[in-house]
Amino acid sequence: MTTTPQPGGPVLIAGASGLIGSHLRRHLAERGIATRVLVRRPARGADEVQWDPTAAMLPAAAFEGVSAVLVLSGVGVADRRWTRRRREAILSSRVGSVDLVARTMAEHGIAARLVTASAVGYYGEGGQNRLTESAPAGNTFLARVCQAWEGAAAPAADAGIPVAHARTGIVLTPEGGALGRLLPLLRLGLAGPLGSGRQWWPWITLEDEIRAMAHLLESEVVGPVNLTAPEPARNADLTRALARELHRPAFLPVPGFALRLAVGGFAAELLASQNVVPEVLLADGFEFTSPDIEAAAQHLL
């Protein structure tokens, strides 16, 4: 089966049940764009297709008439400690899903655009350096995961399919993630900078994350794309901006050793400095609703 992209056709999404996937489906629906989702359980409707990445099972019919394909699949990186088994799951759940989608698209001549999730973890520790999409990969665990994650799409790219990698930063939303955990402490006046607080945090609001994902599905951009706000903030400045909006103090720092005891290996990512900027996204004409942390704090809280 050889197909060409169908303008106005549905967007096929793997990993649609997560925070970003569920919000993106609603956003696309509001714009009149239909979605079709890949599910691991038996399909319950015409907009669902069962698949199993561990068994390399993905019907080519899932791609029929689609305008674009988005792969968001992957177990959480911050919800459990990084045991050896959890590290293996973090890697395999991402690489296996993207590899299966990319190979299926290549083998069946699916010419629709492919967008895969990735993360700014790709850059590792960046210090004070300004990190655009051309910056080299780091050597941390997540950096190696991101390299393999993006590399898994090679079969599609080699077949001439346009592929973009959405390197997402820290998504700010009261519904979950870093801000979801921080808010209860902020409301009590018990939150403060993590570690020194001087590390750059590459943040983005959930609203802009969803809008940027939707933008990429219709764009012609290929390769890595940073999904972060154009004005990164230091961790201490971000925490203080949120606390000011809540009229609470934010002066109790969380020492690095305490953070490592609390969350294990993921602490290295929270303490890393990543001055990431969305050079490609801005050049492609995307406009942020919350370009700086002060605007974001007002919008979020």
Token digits of residue 10: 């549905």
Residue 37, phi then psi, degrees to nearest 5: -120, 145
The 10s digit of each residue's pLDDT in 246-283 is 888 877 777 887 777 766 777 788 889 999 999 999 99
Percent of the chain residues past pLDDT 70, beyond the cut? 97
Cα–Cα distance between 180 and 70 in angstroms, integer? 25
- Of 144, 162, 140, nearest to 153 (Cα)? 162
pLDDT of residue 6: 54
Cα–Cα distance between 104 and 69 in angstroms, integer? 12
Q: How many CB atoms lie within 10 A of CB 163?
A: 23
pLDDT of residue 1: 42
Exposure of 230 in the CB half-sphere (CA atoms within 13 A): 14
pLDDT of residue 3: 47
Place of tokens 């004409």: 285
pLDDT of residue 78: 80
Residue 294, helix vs strand vs coil: helix
Burial of 170 (0-12, 13-18, 19+ CB in 10 A): buried
Token digits of residue 210: 């969803």
pLDDT of residue 262: 66
Q: How far is CA 144 from the centre of its chain?
A: 16
Phi-psi region of 275 (alpha: psi -120 to 50; beta: other; left: phi over 0): beta
pLDDT of residue 165: 98
Cα–Cα distance between 276 and 293 in angstroms, integer? 14
Beta strand residue intervals within 32-156, DSSP E:
35-39, 48-50, 68-71, 113-119, 130-131
Where in the chain are the domains?
Answer: 11-172+202-228+277-282
Cα–Cα distance between 274 and 260 in angstroms, integer? 19
Q: 11-172+202-228+277-282, what's its fold?
A: Rossmann fold (3.40.50)
Question: Pairing relation of β-strands 68-71 and 48-50?
Answer: unpaired
| Degrees to nearest 5, angle at CA 283 with 280 and 286 | 90
pLDDT in tens, the chain (301 residues): 444 445 679 999 999 999 999 999 999 999 999 999 999 999 999 999 999 999 999 999 999 999 999 999 999 888 788 899 999 999 999 999 999 999 999 999 998 999 999 999 999 999 999 999 999 999 999 999 999 999 999 999 999 999 999 999 999 998 877 777 777 878 888 778 888 899 999 999 999 999 999 999 999 999 999 999 999 999 999 999 988 988 888 777 778 877 777 667 777 888 899 999 999 999 999 999 999 999 999 888 7
